[in-house]
A and B are shown apart, each in its own frame.
Chain A
Amino acid sequence: MSNLSSTGAPSLETEAGPLVHDTPDHSHSDHRMFGLATFLVADGMTFAGFFAAYLTFRAVNPLPAGHNYELELVLPTINTLLLLVSSYTFHRAGSALRRGDQPLCQRWLLITALLGFSFLAGQMKEYFSLPFGLTDNLFASTFYAITGFHGLHVTLGGLMILIVWWQSREGGRISINNQFPLEAAELYWHFVDGIWVILYGLLYLL
């Protein structure tokens, strides 16, 4: 039957199942990065929902008199810079790994983690200095919900960086031959930073 033909395709992986199209020279970039990117689209939609709710609240639900705050901008702006720089340092860690320089990669990772946790410390400091609490009004609740959800992402990302840092020591699981964990954490970190930039624009500047 001519509409069924078998091709002389290259030998098929039978072990874990996937019929991988990859050639050995980029075998590290399997479908896990694609899966992670799809997951980040989903995660981004959660933030999109929060931002849409925030913008709608802003447009149609005026706050009671005396509840309109001027947010302090210095600390959040420093925090924004910390995250942006940390994206760059993570990128440097990735390039170091791709060159096979694991000690350098580890140093950049440590700097990245330090920047991430400084961000969280700054966020804490801001929380304790704000003139409103979670249930004071609609803006306060939305502010804490969105920044808190983002902070949760930064915390997870910071822990991921520490794990990646530990695993990229000499003899760890991460090396030039297995870059996936670092690349995955890096993509996630860039995503979290990107979300912060939008959040900063919408919650602080708008």
Chain B
Amino acid sequence: MTISLMPETSGGSLQPQGWLRYLSFSTDHKVIGLQYMVCGFIFYLIGGALAGAIRTELLTPISDFLPRETYNEVLTLHGTVMIFLWIVPVVNGAFGNYLIPFYVGARDMAFPRLNAVAFWLIPPAGILLISSYFFASAAQSGWTAYPPLSTTTPATGQIIWILSVLLLGGSSIFGGINFIATILKLRRPGLKLMQLPMYCWAMLGTSILVVLSTPVLAGTLVLLSFDIIAHTGFFNPAMGGNAVVYQHLFWFYSHPAVYIMVLPAFGLVSEILPVHARKPLFGYTTMVYSILAIVFLGLIVWAHHMFTSGTPPWMRLFFTIATAFIAVPTGIKFFNWLATLWGGKLSLNTAMLFCCGFIVNFVFGGITGVALAQVPFDIHVHDTYFVVGHFHYIVYGGTVFVIFASIYHWYPKVTGRLLNEPLGQLHFWLTFVGFNLCFAPQHWLGLNGMPRRVAEYDPQFTLINQLSSAGALLMALSTLPFLINVVMSAFNGAPAGDNPWNALTPEWLTSSPPPVENWKGEPPLVHEPYGYGVAPGQLSLNASSGRDLWTLGQSVEEP
């Protein structure tokens, strides 16, 4: 495969050298992307250590490793760190900043300085949050901060938690505005919306959710802080207030937040699978409309988190049906990915393995999600470990698996070197086995009535909890080969060349690592980012129906 644009772009790198620029207020989208990535991963390690403390405590039915209040602080910090400091910043900020300008054929994001501001809100917010554990007592009311729990536990930690989440919400909104403007306004002339790589659509949908729902959370947390500091009674029934209104407003953000964490992962998988299966992405158009449908439905299903909060019957009916409907666009995406794999020339490398792991885990998490949408079932397992298991299948088995897949896929782009495959495979199998061992048994625990967020439990659950903790240990160990791999390969990895996967999406059509402003010459105009295994001219993304892609992908040889 020859790409006519390569000769002008494969020369020496223009990028300023030196690691100090990663600690600077750089406005280069690639530097900012890596800043998000590394910062997020540090918080992942901290959140993982907190998870380790939780699973150690739960080895025995009594509260022995941590005092009960510390356990509450640890579970609150674990949830907040993992969601707001690891998954949301990395799956949006890191990959979004690195890839979106390439995908739209731009040299940077629409608002580079706003972009840097959005990143630099994150480290102070994270340090603020974690330091509350050492200087006061951290928040104890879980990542949901429901009143009256959040208004009766120690106030200092809760207020610091609110400040931290407000900063992170601001960062997220600035990022979302930037992505929307970049995707809609900075597209290279001649590039149509329906020719964009799928991750652009995922980020557009995600950013719409961020812009519409995050401000509602911010406003709600301000009201909550009034309740704590000024002793107003917005959410305090004793003062005539209404605690359920907090839940409505909170979940108006936090249900879409699940899609803010998962839609970008859907987009990344859609980029990785076609490359390593050497087949066009199946059903491009249906993928786009599925994302838009998920965005719309994601905004009107929040009350399925509140079936035990005295919701009236009509509300239960509406939110059950709306939630069940989300399975339709999500199912379409899954069948499209399977059809992309079907009959392809698969390379089962680490990136591909993590994608397959994602598909397996997410289908399971999706099925338990549909089960949880049903009111009678939900009431039975509400606030039990079933919900914990379901949630981790979505955000860890789903999104974190995709983050790892993406790191293995784009590491050569960023560094110009390949990651070590055997270490990568070891990482995958440790993660996959550890993850399923850790979280699958939690469904059984929940069905049998073990409540979540409690340091003690009925001794009959001991063995299953120990199994789950063993899985957590494997997950912790899996980080070692990954870290060794990432650090060693940066110095000693096999040179990757500019395009080791023979990929067609625009970020590969420049040198690896890319020069400042991405291309030395003109940005390439890629009309068919998934034209794998298809003779030139036979594939047209915006004109093809799914069936066309299906037959083309099967019958035509690799060029």
Interface residue tally on B, bucketed by range? 35 or more
- Measured in the bound complex, the distance between the Cα atoms of B239 and A41 in whole Å is 33
Quick one: closest A residue to B534, CB to CB? A3
Q: Which of B9-68 contact A (CB under 8 A)?
A: none
Using known A-B contacts A34-B181, A45-B211, determine if residue A17 contacts B526 with beta carbons closer than 8 Å. no
Using known A-B contacts A2-B536, A46-B216, A145-B223, determine if residue A52 contacts B249 with beta carbons closer than 8 Å. yes
In-complex Cβ contact of A19 among B186, B240, B242 (8 A): B186
In-complex Cβ contact of A45 among B178, B216, B222, B248 (8 A): B216
0/1 interface trace, chain A 26-70, chain B, CB 8 Å (1 if under):
000001101100110111111111101100110011011000000
- Measured in the bound complex, the distance between the Cα atoms of B239 and A32 in whole Å is 45
Cβ-defined contact, B245 with A46, below 8 A: no
Q: Which residues of A contact B186 (CB under 8 A)?
A: 18-19, 31
In-complex Cβ contact of A1 among B173, B177, B222, B559 (8 A): B559
Quick one: closest B residue to A144, CB to CB? B232
Quick one: closest A residue to B223, CB to CB? A145
- Measured in the bound complex, the distance between the Cα atoms of B212 and A57 in whole Å is 22
Minimum CB–CB distance from B92 to chain A (whole Å) comes to: 15
Cβ-defined contact, A42 with B219, below 8 A: no
Q: Which of B213-240 contact A (CB under 8 A)?
A: 213-216, 218-220, 222-223, 226, 230-234, 239-240
Q: Which residues of A contact B242 (CB under 8 A)?
A: 56-57, 60-61, 138
Minimum CB–CB distance from B459 to chain A (whole Å) comes to: 43
Q: Which residues of B contact A18 (CB under 8 A)?
A: 106-108, 110, 186
Q: Which residues of A contact B211 (CB under 8 A)?
A: 38, 41-42, 45
Quick one: closest B residue to A54, CB to CB? B245
In-complex Cβ contact of B216 among A5, A6, A49, A57 (8 A): A49
Cβ-defined contact, A141 with B232, below 8 A: yes
- Measured in the bound complex, the distance between the Cα atoms of B106 and A19 in whole Å is 6
Output the residue of A3, A7, A42, A64 with the most chain B CB within 10 A.
Answer: A3
0/1 interface trace, chain A 3-20, chain B, CB 8 Å (1 if under):
111110110111011110
> A129 contacts the other chain (Cβ, under 8 Å)?
no
Using known A-B contacts A42-B211, A49-B216, determine if residue A14 contacts B5 with beta carbons closer than 8 Å. no
Cβ-defined contact, B517 with A14, below 8 A: yes
Q: Which residues of A contact B245 (CB under 8 A)?
A: 53, 56-57
Cβ-defined contact, B219 with A50, below 8 A: yes
Cβ-defined contact, A141 with B517, below 8 A: no
> A123 contacts the other chain (Cβ, under 8 Å)?
no
Q: Which of A129-169 contact B (CB under 8 A)?
A: 134-135, 137-138, 141-142, 145, 149
Minimum CB–CB distance from B206 to chain A (whole Å) comes to: 14
Q: Which residues of A contact B451 (CB under 8 A)?
A: none
- Measured in the bound complex, the distance between the Cα atoms of B105 and A56 in whole Å is 46
Q: Which residues of A contact B2 (CB under 8 A)?
A: 1
> B241 contacts the other chain (Cβ, under 8 Å)?
yes
Cβ-defined contact, B526 with A21, below 8 A: no
Quick one: closest B residue to A9, CB to CB? B189
Using known A-B contacts A6-B525, A41-B211, A49-B252, determine if residue A138 contacts B240 with beta carbons closer than 8 Å. yes
Cβ-defined contact, A19 with B537, below 8 A: no
> B338 contacts the other chain (Cβ, under 8 Å)?
no
In-complex Cβ contact of A17 among B226, B230, B517 (8 A): B517
> B528 contacts the other chain (Cβ, under 8 Å)?
yes
Task: Please report the number of residue pairs spanning A and B whose Cβ atoms sit closer than 8 angstroms.
Answer: 170
- Measured in the bound complex, the distance between the Cα atoms of B526 and A20 in whole Å is 18
Quick one: closest A residue to B110, CB to CB? A31
Cβ-defined contact, B108 with A16, below 8 A: yes
Q: Which residues of A contact B177 (CB under 8 A)?
A: 35, 38-39, 42
- Measured in the bound complex, the distance between the Cα atoms of B245 and A37 in whole Å is 28
Quick one: closest B residue to A18, CB to CB? B186
0/1 interface trace, chain B 161-190, chain A, CB 8 Å (1 if under):
000000000000100111011001110111
Cβ-defined contact, A42 with B214, below 8 A: yes
> B531 contacts the other chain (Cβ, under 8 Å)?
yes
Minimum CB–CB distance from A195 to chain B (whole Å) comes to: 13
Cβ-defined contact, B108 with A17, below 8 A: yes
Cβ-defined contact, A138 with B525, below 8 A: no
Cβ-defined contact, B226 with A21, below 8 A: no
Q: Which residues of A contact B223 (CB under 8 A)?
A: 50, 53, 145
- Measured in the bound complex, the distance between the Cα atoms of B215 and A63 in whole Å is 28
- Measured in the bound complex, the distance between the Cα atoms of B522 and A134 in whole Å is 60
Cβ-defined contact, A19 with B215, below 8 A: no
18 further interface pairs, Cβ-Cβ under 8 Å (given A35-B114, A49-B216, A135-B230): A2-B537, A4-B524, A4-B526, A4-B527, A6-B525, A9-B525, A16-B112, A19-B189, A31-B181, A35-B110, A38-B176, A39-B173, A42-B211, A50-B223, A60-B242, A138-B240, A138-B241, A145-B226
Taking Cβ atoms with an 8 Å cutoff, the residues of B that contact A are 1-5, 101, 105-112, 114, 173, 176-178, 180-181, 184-186, 188-190, 211-216, 218-220, 222-223, 226, 230-234, 239-242, 245, 248-249, 252, 504, 509, 517, 522-528, 531, 536-537, 539, 559
Question: What are 20 A-to-B residue pairs whose CB atoms are below 8 Å?
Answer: A2-B536, A3-B527, A3-B537, A4-B509, A6-B525, A7-B189, A9-B525, A17-B106, A18-B107, A19-B105, A19-B186, A21-B185, A31-B111, A35-B110, A35-B111, A35-B178, A45-B216, A46-B218, A49-B249, A138-B239
Leading 3 A-B pairs by shortest Cβ distance: A17-B108, A49-B216, A2-B536
